[in-house]
Amino acid sequence: MSVLKNAMGAAVLAGAAMLTTAGAAGAATGPAGTPTAADTAAIGQVTGGKQTLDRLAETKFPGAHAAAAASRADADARSQVAVYEPTAAFVAGTSDVPAALAYVAVPARTGDGTTATVWAERQGAAWTVVNVASGDYERKYAEAAAGGYLLHEPQVNAWYAVHGDAVTVLDGSVTGLAAGTKLALADYRAQLHQRYADKLPGSAYDRDGAGGGYGGRERAVPATGSDEVPVLPFVLGGVLVLVAGAVVVPRLRRQ
């Protein structure tokens, strides 16, 4: 373990040097793919449509307890939450755009009254419902973000609020950072570089197909249809890692 820690420490120093030459991270640069008013309207239509409501009505989560009286399945399209994820270019230090849109979360309720969230992804020019997840974590974290945009690091299931060049930890999960910890965007990028630089496109890890478990480069989830955010999985020790233009969303809450 000490050898691993020493190696990781060396990676941090090397990454910090590289990032210094790249300039300040994300100065006045927002995320890519922010939904427009037209996107919001389209998401409202697809998440509130019959197909989605029928899916919600039939959804049963393991261990969920039905409400005393069955509720009408519903999705609240008025409360959309844009969820962003770090991009490989940001981690590599080749772009100051810190994140790209991964999906839009819409709070919902299944037919038995269980709290759920509908995930909508942009696929080409259209929006598609790709998942019905248990719980309403995105809504809760968005409220805690207090006006910042919501950033998810799916490999470690960590959540952050980003306000300009400031990153606030909402749930550090296995990163070891306590909720409320504040980081400069450049410091957060250095941490990302430490965790994922050796798994970026073109790395030995990438070339060797070291991820395994998913049939090489087979897609694990539907593509977003965006040239900026291709989604291709690699796995190391059960943790999904950075590839191509963005990160892979682990569907741990999938129906």
- Model pLDDT for residues 185-239, shown as the tens digit of each residue: 999 999 999 999 888 877 666 666 554 321 222 222 333 333 333 332 333 333 3
When divided into structural domains, the chain yields a total of 1
Q: What is the pLDDT of residue 184?
A: 96
Q: What is the pLDDT of residue 41?
A: 96
Q: How far apart are CA 184 and CA 230, in angstroms?
A: 27
Q: Could you tell me if residue 45 is inside a domain?
A: yes
Per-residue pLDDT for 242 more than 50? no
Q: Could you tell me if residue 160 is inside a domain?
A: yes
Q: Could you tell me if residue 246 is inside a domain?
A: no
Q: Could you tell me if residue 248 is inside a domain?
A: no
Q: How far apart are CA 166 and CA 176, in angstroms?
A: 18
Mean pLDDT of the chain: 75
Q: Could you tell me if residue 61 is inside a domain?
A: yes
Domain that holds residue 136: 2-240
Model pLDDT for residues 84-113, shown as the tens digit of each residue = 999 999 999 999 999 999 999 999 999 988
Q: Could you tell me if residue 249 is inside a domain?
A: no
Q: What is the pLDDT of residue 155?
A: 87
Q: Could you tell me if residue 255 is inside a domain?
A: no
pTM check: above 0.75 = no
**108 with 137: CB under 8 angstroms?**
no
Q: Could you tell me if residue 253 is inside a domain?
A: no
